[in-house]
Amino acid sequence: MSLKSLRKTSLIQRVSPPGAPHNPAAPILEIANLSLRYNGSYALDNISFTLNSGQHIAVVGPNGAGKSTLFKVIAGILPATSGDVKIAGGGPAGHICIAYVPQRSHVDWRFPVNVADVVMMGRVSRMGLLRWPRPRDWELVHHALQEVGLDDLAGRQIGELSGGQQQRMFIARALAQEAELMLMDEPFTGLDAPSQEAIFSILETLKGRRVTVLIAMHDLNLAAERFEEVMLLNHRLVGFGKPEQVFAPPQLRLAYGDHLHLVGAGDEWLALGDTCCDEGEQE
Amino acid sequence: MSLVDLLLEPLNYPFMVRGMLAAIMVGIVCATVGTYMVLRGMAFFGDALAHAILPGVALGYLLGGGARGPLFWWGLVTAILTSIGIGALSRGARIKEDTAIGIVFAGMFALGIALISTVRNYTADLTHFLFGDVLGVTSTDLWLTGIFGGAIVLIVLLFYKEFLVLSFDPTLASTLRISSRFFDYLLYVLVAIATMVSLQTVGVSLMVAMLITPAATAYLLTRRLPVMMALAATIGAASGVIGLYLSFYVNMASGAAIVLTATAFFAAAWIGRTVQGAIQNRRLRLSHPSSN
């Protein structure tokens, strides 16, 4: 059978599904009693929460609290030991609408690709097997690059980008993927204030489009100042809600233990953390 | 004798023409899969796989009473089985991947030598398996090389974007629901076939150089994957041709000459890059004398 005739059959269509169907009435993410045991201890312990379209949540917790692990279970990359993850009413396995934005330190920046190549990777499953990018794919890639302000760097080798530009490139890839749920792993780590602001303004446009975003971070101040809702994680879900409620001394002590020193009394208190930063969690 | 005569002289011999064609095809095919092997750090896997096909070839050699014809198929089956075996062993993860590869590699290689050594006067044939015999290529060999090599290049091109995503970002591949298991094994099998196709040109001992060296050279020279692949194929083919001329005029082993040519390409690219980098650093330091 020649390649051309093979293409005409419906086989190829079935091999490359456009993604699992969505139930518009169901919440975009629903997690119930999720646990993951790893080497005999709980990396994630009985976690339950629900997110609706357009919610942006900062996920905060000490190093090794299971933030990356939680994201990987939601994305369907790691299997849960028990409990349920539902994406728009179904299991995560068939969905290609979940984007995982990796930590910059986990990427091979010497890989021979340019910015547009990386963003086009987000289109791979939408194109399907045995197909090359069509004009519509290029359009979406350029549009995504415009949205994150990288259109004039499309031909740049990825190693030549600054940290903030690298982060925006991965967000553009998630846009090209037409993701409805974005999981960002420490996007602000190591960025200066202007680069962080650039990402916050992109997050604003995402909110307008009702894209749901979970952002792992370790900076309590940034989370409290810039997010309406935060999640405090330390294997268990310690708190989820408004920052002023979640980041209260009892919860913080529960999440950070001896790594956090609380100074002051009553409403006036200061949290001094000594967990830091970059090299994130064990996988 | 003019330069043209020097270049044309070897082509008067049909075995040289066949050798050239084989070396060109092997150079292209190995460099194409080799590009992904370099990007994914699979050099040791390639070396191991090349050595591990020896027992299969040896068995075919013993059973066929020294006939050359069936050796290709014996080697091909062994290569595919070994590549899948190594893949399964390293996925099983009771021991580290490079340890698993090392054990399989040495064990299979020893078995191959043991089998061949049961034949009296085995050294000549063993040498051919180990170091290649490109001047003994028959027209049947050429056809097989063309068909299997062409299939490898075609598959690499057809699944270009899937292999790219898997090599750059396996996590993205799983969120896009691209089967890493399927494409990893597909790559292993492609390497296995490339190995078998190259057996007669460079032999098992030098095979890894054809897979890795041209691709590594291209990696130093470009920052785009399609360019890297095309450049690697060109360097691989050129190494084959130049190496054969070398072996014709200097009278040295052809496989070694081909590999040495490829190594020279790499050395030139590496030195060029290093010097260029040093000059750039110096310029930077001169223009920003305080930032040290």
Q: Which of these, B29, B180, B223, B61, lies nearest to B126 by C-alpha position?
A: B61
- Closest-CA residue of chain B to A173: B172
pLDDT value at position B72?
82
Instruction: Count Cα neighbours of A194 within 13 Å in the Cβ-side half-sphere.
Output: 2
The whole model's pTM is what?
A: 0.87
B224 vs A contacts (CB less than 8 Å): 112-114, 117, 157
Q: Does B36 touch chain A (CB under 8 A)?
A: no
* Residue pLDDT tens, chain B, 292 long: 688 898 999 999 999 999 999 999 999 999 999 999 999 999 998 999 899 899 998 888 888 876 777 888 888 888 888 888 877 777 766 777 788 888 888 899 999 989 888 877 777 778 888 888 888 898 988 999 999 999 999 999 999 999 999 999 999 999 999 998 899 999 999 999 999 889 888 888 899 999 999 999 999 999 999 999 999 999 999 999 999 999 999 999 999 999 999 999 999 999 999 999 899 888 888 777 654 4
**Amino acid symbol at A83:** G
Is-contact B244 B134, C-beta < 8 A?
yes
Residue B247 vs residues B127, B217, B255, B260: alpha-carbon distances, Å: 16, 22, 9, 11
- The number of residues in chain B equals 292
Q: Does A46 touch chain B (CB under 8 A)?
A: no
pLDDT value at position A11?
36
pLDDT value at position B135?
87
pLDDT value at position A2?
43
pLDDT value at position A114?
95
Q: What is the pLDDT of residues A14-43, one digit of tens each?
A: 333 457 778 878 889 999 999 999 888 899
Nearest-angstrom CA–CA distance, A202 and A221: 20
Q: What is the pLDDT of residues A125-151, one digit of tens each?
A: 888 888 889 999 999 999 999 999 999
Q: Is the pLDDT of residue A7 over 70?
A: no
Q: Which of these, B273, B219, B209, lies nearest to B239 by C-alpha position?
A: B209
Residues 173-232 of B with CB under 8 A from A: 174-178, 219, 222-225, 227-228
pLDDT value at position A262?
66
Are B168 and A121 an interchain contact pair (Cβ–Cβ within 8 Å)?
yes
Strands A181-185 and A56-60: unpaired
Nearest-angstrom CA–CA distance, B141 and B200: 9
Residue A271, exposed/middle/buried by CB under 10 A (0-12, 13-18, 19+)?
middle
Q: Is the pLDDT of residue A280 over 70?
A: no
pLDDT value at position A281?
41
Percent of chain A having pLDDT more than 70?
84
Nearest-angstrom CA–CA distance, B130 and B203: 5
Percent of chain A having pLDDT more than 90?
61
| Residue scoring higher pLDDT (A220 or A264) | A220
Is-contact A127 A137, C-beta < 8 A?
yes
Nearest-angstrom CA–CA distance, A205 and A256: 33
